[in-house]
Amino acid sequence: MKNQNVRVLLVENNDHHYSLIQDMLLNIRGWRFDLDRVPTCSDALKEAKRKHHDVYLLDYRLGSEPDGLKLFKELRLNGSSAPIILLTDPDGRESKIHVMRKGVSDFLDKSRIMPHVLERSIRYAVEHAKILEALQESEARFRGVFHGAAIGIALIGAKRRVVESNTALRRMLGYGKKELHRLDFQKLLHPDDAKENKKLYQELISGKREHYQVVNRYLRKNRQWMWANLTVSLPLKSKEKSQFAIFMVEDITERMQAKEALRESGKKLRILSTKLLETQEKERKLVAQELHDSIGASLAAIKYALENKLDKMGGAPEPEGISLEQLISMAQETIDECRRISTDLRPSILDDLGLLATIRWICRKFERIYSAIRVECRFHIKEKDVPESLKVIIYRVLQEALNNVAKHSGLDYVYLYLEKKNGKIELSVEDNGRGFDMDEVFIHKDYAGGMGLAGMKERTELFDGQFILCSGKNAGTRIRATWPIR
């Protein structure tokens, strides 16, 4: 404060008092005062507009009326924020408290005024004004942050009342300030979220948690639900006995709706894929039956007729060209081929004898075709434990797993099992072959390989199952598919 210039405006109509004040100000050491003096209220208002002053000294009674107070009010109305000290006669003292309450910095008795009293009063007024200004600036900054925040903020006090709320929160919920502050904030919460929130809030209050974060639904004024990411904490300094909690609310409705839409479309896609696979299986069954019943039956009839003819010829020489025996053999090959295609499309054994019999049959067939490979097959499950609709899925997964074993593994042993364990059905096919680098196959962007593994996974998951593949170079390959028993 020392050597600081202080601009003072003295509103005083009495020349003697003016000189007195002027002398006193001159005698205050360590200060430099720029003193301006005006005699009337209207002059004071003009002067205040023209020039900034650090402090006003106003004569409380300029005429016969207490003009000082009126002038004080007008100065404030005109936007002047400088501190004001009223100078009064001895009989004006009783109004001191009343005037001070209105925001006047000090009230000095002109008859007793001393330089050190004036100095202390001015210093206090100027310092106080500075502190006030800093406080106001800081509050304005805080308010700017509070109301400018894109996230909703509320201070929730006793009985869950909103003590303070920012613009973002009110906009999100669609309430005006007064309406929102009258509400019990808890009542806006979805009933299903209330219990969890209550528990977390208690833990916060009791000091078990520093803060908590939870996804909630709040009811907007337009009766629509808003999904919100809520973070709740207590103010820093008053943690021990906090009067209110800080609620920060982020509107995530759009994100949740997009997620829900994605889940819905995923569900629809799964239904569609299941339908597609079911249709495919039906078609396969139909084509297999048609092949067997029409072409297969016709071929058998042709073969029978040819054999009959050959019998009747009794060894007589045949005309030149292809012999009847060759034709019979060709018919037999075509019959076999037709049967193979039909079985591949849909083995009738699956419908006639069930899954376990089909798996045993596939294993025998596999060993017959790939005579160097030994297949070990174990079951810890009963036929009736496998849901009908799952049977064909297990069959297809196994079919592809064995195809891969034959095509890629270069091994001599494969172990497979089907079991029921811990409420799940599990199929496992494991070989001791050359295996493969999974990163190369799945992560390499140029990989344009087969569809077998992807198909196995898709089929497994369509029935709510889980498909796990384990492989590594020279470490064999194992596929595991598990399905919950419904």
Ligand X SMILES: Nc1ncnc2c1ncn2[C@@H]1O[C@H](COP(=O)(O)OP(=O)(O)OP(=O)(O)O)[C@@H](O)[C@H]1O
Residues at the contact surface with ligand X, assessed by CB under 6 A: 404-405, 407-409, 431, 433-436, 441, 449-453, 477
Q: Is 452 in the site for Mg ion (CB under 5 A)?
A: yes
Segments of 397-450 assigned E as strands: 413-421, 424-431
Please identify which residue in the block is written with the tokens 């899954």.
Answer: 355
Candidates 144-152, 219-227, 342-350, 446-454: pick the segment binding Mg ion (CB under 5 A). 446-454
Q: Report the chain's C-alpha Rg in angstroms.
A: 48
Q: List the single partner that 441 binds among Mg ion, ligand X, none, CB under 5 to 8 Å by kind.
A: ligand X
Helix, coil or strand: residue 379:
strand
From residue 196, give the alpha-carbon distance in Å to each of 162, 184, 309. 20, 17, 87
- In this complex, which beta carbon is closest to ligand X, that of residue 33 or of residue 436? 436
Going by C-alpha positions, the residue among 1, 121, 116 that lies closest to residue 56 is: 121
Q: What, of Mg ion, ligand X, none, does residue 405 touch, CB below 5 to 8 Å by kind?
A: ligand X
Choose the contact partner of 477 out of ligand X, Mg ion, none; CB within 5 to 8 A by kind.
Answer: ligand X
Q: Which does 431 bind (CB under 5 to 8 A by kind): ligand X, Mg ion, none?
A: ligand X
Nearest distance in Å: CB 438, ligand X: 8
Kindly state the smallest distance separating residue 160's Cβ from ligand X, in Å: 58
| In the complex, minimum distance from the CB of residue 440 to Mg ion, in angstroms, rounded to a whole number | 15
Residue 39 binds which of Mg ion, ligand X, none (CB < 5-8 A, kind-dependent):
none
Contact of residue 436 among ligand X, Mg ion, none (CB under 5-8 Å per partner type) = ligand X
Q: How far is the CB of 405 from Mg ion (least distance, A)?
A: 9
387 or 450: CB nearest ligand X:
450
Q: Closer to ligand X at the Cβ: 139 or 412?
A: 412
**HEC string for 224-247:** CEEEEEEEEECCCCCCCCCCCEEE
Binding of Mg ion by 354 (CB under 5 A): no
Report, in Å, the least distance between residue 454 CB and ligand X.
Answer: 6
Task: List 55's β-bridge partners, or say none.
Answer: 8
Q: 78 with 49: CB under 8 angstroms?
A: yes
Q: Which stretch binds Mg ion (CB under 5 A): 64-72, 343-351, 445-453, 476-484?
A: 445-453
Alpha helices in 291-323 (DSSP H): 297-313
State how far the Cα of 346 lies from the Cα of 241, in Å rounded to an integer. Answer: 74
**Residue 147 contact among ligand X, Mg ion, none, beta carbon within 5 to 8 Å by kind:** none
Least spacing, CB of residue 358 vs ligand X, in Å: 20
What is the per-residue binding string for Mg ion in 376-405, x denoting contact by CB under 5 A?
A: ----------------------------x-
CA-CA distances (angstroms) from residue 203 to 197, 236, 449? 10, 17, 55
The residue among 236 and 448 lying less far from ligand X, judged by its C-beta, is 448
* Cβ nearer to Mg ion, comparing 356 with 441: 441
Look at the alpha carbons of 187, 190, 194, 200 in this order and tell me if their dihedral is positive or negative.
negative
Q: Which residues pair with 148 in a beta bridge?
A: none
User: 193 phi and psi, to 5 degrees?
Assistant: -95, -10
- In the block, residue with structure tokens 């106001």: 136
* Number of neighbours of residue 219 by Cβ within 10 angstroms: 15
149 vs 438, beta carbon nearer ligand X:
438
Which of the choices ligand X, Mg ion, none does residue 175 contact, using the CB cut-off of 5 to 8 A by kind?
none
Residue nearest to ligand X (CB): 450
Q: Kindly write down the DSSP assignment for every residue of 87-127, as one continuous string.
A: EE-GGGGGGHHHHHHTT-SEEEETTT--HHHHHHHHHHHHH
CB contact at 8 A, 118 and 108: yes
- Binding status of residue 450 toward Mg ion by CB under 5 A: yes
Sites of contact with Mg ion (CB under 5 A): 404, 450, 452
